[in-house]
Structure 1
Amino acid sequence: MIKNRIREKKVYKAFGLSILSEFPLPELPQLSIQDDLADITIEIKDLSDMWEYYSVQNERFVITEEFIMFKISEAIFYIQNGERIFVSPIIESELDRIRLFILGTCMGIILIQRKTYALHGSAIVIDGKAYAIVGDSGAGKSTLAAEFLTRGYKLLSDDVIPISLSQHTQVPMVLPAYPQQKLWLESLRELGIESSNYKPICGREEKFSIPLTASFVQEPLPLAGVFELTKSDEGTIEIQPIHKLERIQTLYYHTYRNFIIQRLGLMDWHFAESVKILKEIYIFQLRRPKVSFTAPKLASLILDTIYREEHIHDKKSHYFIK
């Protein structure tokens, strides 16, 4: 059991950060650095009294400038100043589900506290550049990213997409998350991937963790574009650019845990960062039918769009140089 055994701390790497954790995180690659050099720490601690003191009835989150707490049925989490995460397991047999929240919501909060921009979606690599696929839950972001992987392209992130702006060039750089994808059984079948080779997530038989090795990029890459994936009642696939203020709204809507941005008074910061990012990228909305498997057609359409945009950019650069 977590609480009773001797805790062995290990240093991991994810989201552009080194993480010293006494909670096991087997999904993450390990680092060989001194413990005191880690960017953040994850510790196991009883948070039940603290939750009782700070929590408000029917509120899942406690949000302050110094820390954020939240609770699920399996654990309580405390995230402080972008540097520390405390985990209080309630149902210790559910370690897989607890890890999902550590690597998802907790790390998303850490990034917000550190003022690192983060989108909710998947980031793929095409010709040395990163492209974000964002959308509501169930839109098919991970499935579309997996389609690109079957074509030989690589992944930078699944779920949380950290974006850091270079201090010198102001180029938005996507930081690698960790080498894993999460896919529904239906998607695996459509992609021709055998589900028996992988472990179901949290005991659920319909969603699986897919470890990645050669298909994962471990270095930051410049963000070149964002594709918003939506579902419609129409039977056709459509793509169109997003213009003007809608671009700002789209980035905010798909910011990871965006309600925290507002409650921490970071809207001005987020707006300023969005403007800087939008100077360097293009955004398209991609509509797909609610029914039928369309990932191959969507991937081909994205590739055609990227080629066209890069060709236009090259022509403009050539004209400017002349």
Structure 2
Amino acid sequence: MHNRSVSVGWGQYTAFGLRIASELKLPELVLSASGAAEDVIIRQADLTAWSDQLEQTNYVIQGERFVLQIPGTAIFAVREGREIEVCPYPGADMDTVRLFLLGSCMGILLMQRRIFPIHGSAVVIGGKAYAFVGESGAGKSTLAAAFRQAGYLMVSDDVIAVKATASEPIVYPAYPQQKLGLDSLLQLESLQGNKHVRPQKHRLVLTSGYPALPQYGELLKLTGEWNKYAVPTVDEFYNEPLSLGGVFELVAEPSNQLPAVTEQPLNVLGCLHTLLLHTYRRGTISRMGLGEWYFGTAARMARKVEGWRLLRSSSAFTASEIVQRVLELIHKEENSYGSH
């Protein structure tokens, strides 16, 4: 248990199923009621003593402490799944500091707590969380945004926190923000006339001067992310744990001959391979000594969830077609269970 006097007056937040007390302001996160004991504390600290060790590599693992350097931004130390220390470099952009704090650092902290971090986006369909995974540019966040436009709530973007319980995998919501590229934002705007899309109440102007888009206010351009913007999703965020119903792997194929979307069901081994391939920061797992836990957890999850691979043409914007196909596949699965 942490010394409560240390964090008096700090921000109190929730994310990934954790109560967080932070010396740094974290406007992206959901505020929590003060008074409850925190699971994680985030504080500023002088970590420059690690500089020599970080010259050769950008991270050092020492027991239950993971020290990470983002050149020009900050040094972070993540310890025992309970504490993140932050040492920003002089003149660092604090939006970028938070980007890595809530991304890479939280991914490491989740693994230290034996919570499985899937790299992808997740939405709520039929009372369960469904994860969308894929390589960079496959369309994970864009598809999740298309589901939001169609009236479905978002659970997570980038890091999906999953606890493999004895009965089923449970997803803990992240925080109400998406990272979306300019192309995706403009393409999603073009869907506004679609009958499946909810009308938006607000107008938005990109801070870099692009035309108004149908979202929430002024969008922050993410430093260090090529043409990506932080899109708040407060009104479309589901903030309670729920079971993981399935995993969809998006694969973009450079072909004009493909139909809008083609699905391939995944068996247990295929689902296991997909979970292993799309684990957040998976390159660090063996160095953290978590290989056995990692593989065993992924294997248990693969036996409990449904999996599909969705092939789409990379030469067309297919988000609305994929939304409809995903819903058909899930309803078909639910009906097949109901017939037994």
Same fold, judged at TM 0.5 (above): yes
In the TM superposition, structure 1's runs of 4+ consecutive aligned residues that sit over 2 Å from their partners are: 32-35, 193-197, 202-206, 243-247
Check conservation: 2:54, 2:69, Cα contact below 8 A.
Answer: no
Quick one: distance in 2 between partners of 1:276 and 1:244? 10
From 58, 61, 65, the counterpart of 2:59: 61
| 2:312 aligned with 1:288 | yes
Check conservation: 1:188, 1:194, Cα contact below 8 A.
Answer: no
What is the letter of the counterpart of residue 218 of structure 1?
N
| 2:117 aligned with 1:129 | no
- Structure 2 stretches lacking a partner, 5+ long: 1-7, 190-202, 207-216
The aligned runs of 1:136-155 (5 Å cut-off) are 136-155=135-154
What is the aligned length?
305
The equivalent of 1:4 in structure 2 is none
Check conservation: 2:119, 2:278, Cα contact below 8 A.
Answer: yes
Cα 1:93–1:258 shift into 2, 3 Å: closer
More deviation in 241-250 or 89-98?
241-250
Check conservation: 1:195, 1:208, Cα contact below 8 A.
Answer: no
Deviation at 1:208, TM superposition (A): 1.3
Check conservation: 1:13, 1:30, Cα contact below 8 A.
Answer: yes
Quick one: distance in 2 between partners of 1:103 and 1:131? 21
Deviation at 1:191, TM superposition (A): 0.7
What is the letter of the counterpart of residue 46 of structure 2?
D
Deviation at 1:56, TM superposition (A): 5.4
The equivalent of 2:229 in structure 1 is 208
CA RMSD of aligned residues (A): 1.8
Check conservation: 2:255, 2:315, Cα contact below 8 A.
Answer: no
The equivalent of 2:160 in structure 1 is 161
Quick one: distance in 1 between partners of 2:225 and 2:171? 30
Residues 172-205 of structure 1 deviation map (CA, whole Å, 9 limit, x = unaligned): 1110100111111111111118553322222868
TM-score by length of structure 1 reads 0.90
Deviation at 1:93, TM superposition (A): 4.3
The equivalent of 1:45 in structure 2 is 45
Quick one: distance in 2 between partners of 1:56 and 1:29? 36
Deviation at 1:28, TM superposition (A): 0.8
Deviation at 1:8, TM superposition (A): 5.4
Deviation at 1:292, TM superposition (A): 1.8
TM-score by length of structure 2 reads 0.85
Residues 234-255 of structure 1 deviation map (CA, whole Å, 9 limit, x = unaligned): 2322110122423222111111
The aligned runs of 1:148-227 (5 Å cut-off) are 148-167=147-166, 170-192=167-189, 194-196=204-206, 197=217, 198-202=219-223, 206-227=227-248
Quick one: distance in 1 between partners of 2:161 and 2:298? 13
The equivalent of 2:24 in structure 1 is 23
What is the letter of the counterpart of residue 66 of structure 1?
E
Quick one: distance in 1 between partners of 2:127 and 2:77? 37
